[in-house]
Amino acid sequence: MQIPTAMSTNPIPVVVTPPSTVATEPAAAPAVSWPKRLIALLPLGGIAWLTMVLADHPAVSRYGLSALTLAMCAGMVAANTMPRHWLAPLGPGMQLARHHLLRLGVALYGLRLTFGAIAALGAAGIVVPLTMLVTTLLLGTWVGTKFFGLSRSEAILVSAGSAVCGAAAAIAVSSVVRTDDRQTAVAVATVVLFGTVGMLLYPWLYELATQHWHLAITERAFGIFTGATLHEVAQVIASGKMVSDATADAAVVAKMVRVLALGPLLLIMALWPQGKRAEGQANATANARAGARDWRALLRAVPWFALGFVAVMALNSASLVPQDWKAPLIALDNWMLACAMLAIGLHTRIGDLLRAGRKPLGLAAVLFLFLMVGGALVCYAAI
């Protein structure tokens, strides 16, 4: 999950990216110091600040373009027009923004919400996202294996990225079902591609439905739809803000329901009989070792940023955050999310995404259509 992470909650989502053909920045070596990461973050931070200033200008704001959308688009333009070696020095800063700033940004987004606001969403705020999660995961696994000829683990991987919280879910699930780096990279590519398309498409669909078709769709209902069907936390936040703040708030709550479901989902996969997921393992001892790896992967994959979001929201609900602190903290949160979206954009090369493979992309396209159509029907029935 992705608050922009690539909320990313990726997690705006919200994430350790495996070695892959879709990476556009060199992997930051473990030895890179924090001062070097912060220095590499400075140019990104400056551009993110400029997108915030630009988004407040009347000439831009009247089109509903938020700082997050502008940052994402700026990053994608740079990634697809500038040589890779020009962007290489920004690698440590991009990694810092996509991982740490995105998670912090999603957690701090809780300052905008209270438990009362969640209660106002009603049961639909929980039922719709969970329904879409389960149906997307089951449908994707079945369609991927039966019609696209994918292995069961690869079908689960692509489906989890669409159903739960984007790249974060794909990477977390890969560590449990034990797919290789190429399969994980392909799943992440499908999330980036269709999540970005949805992020830009949804606000236009809302305007089309309400202004031209004159459908009675509230901002709250569309927010639940957005949070229940878009891939990444960051994409959910950016798309919601292009409609309204109320839409973004409802979308984040619905998205957090999906993100928090990642833990139980991984637990179920970790407890699934090993024979069904690890055919050909030598003996029970090897299975025991694999099980231990599953539990370690499960603990590493717990979406702590989502728990942080709940904790911050609890503090805000209890009025424990001083009013004088809220405005600067929300501004800081917007800046962190803009940095994350810029980094996600810089990480996105169209050519790399299109080379991910026809079968996984085909499955992801089917799931994207199902999320839009099925999500709309479920929202209509539940709200």
3-state helix, strand, coil in the chain (%, to 5): 75, 0, 25
Residue 326 has pLDDT above 80, yes or no: yes
Where do the structural domains in the chain lie, given as residue ranges? 34-382
Pick from 19-33, 57-71, 364-378 the range whose average pLDDT is largest: 364-378
Q: How far apart are CA 194 and CA 2, in angstroms?
A: 12
The model's confidence at residue 27, banded by pLDDT at 50, 70 and 90, is very low
Number of H helices and E strands in the chain, helices first, is 21, 0
pLDDT tens, position by position, 241-273: 999 999 999 999 999 999 988 878 887 887 766
pLDDT (0 to 100) of residue 14: 39
Q: Is the pTM of this model over 0.85?
A: no
pLDDT tens, position by position, 48-62: 999 999 988 888 877
pLDDT tens, position by position, 101-139: 988 988 898 898 888 887 888 899 999 999 999 999 999
Q: Which of 132, 134, 135, 173 is CA-nearest to residue 153?
A: 173
Question: What residue spans of 164-232 are helical by DSSP H?
Answer: 167-177, 181-207, 219-229
Whether residue 102 contacts residue 72, with contact meaning beta carbons closer than 8 Å, is answered with no
Q: How far apart are CA 278 and CA 290, in angstroms?
A: 9
pLDDT tens, position by position, 152-177: 999 999 999 999 988 878 877 887 78
Tokens of residue 374, six digits: 């099925």
Distance of CA 270 to the CA centre of its chain: 22
Q: How far apart are CA 181 and CA 204, in angstroms?
A: 35
Residue 17 has pLDDT above 60, yes or no: no
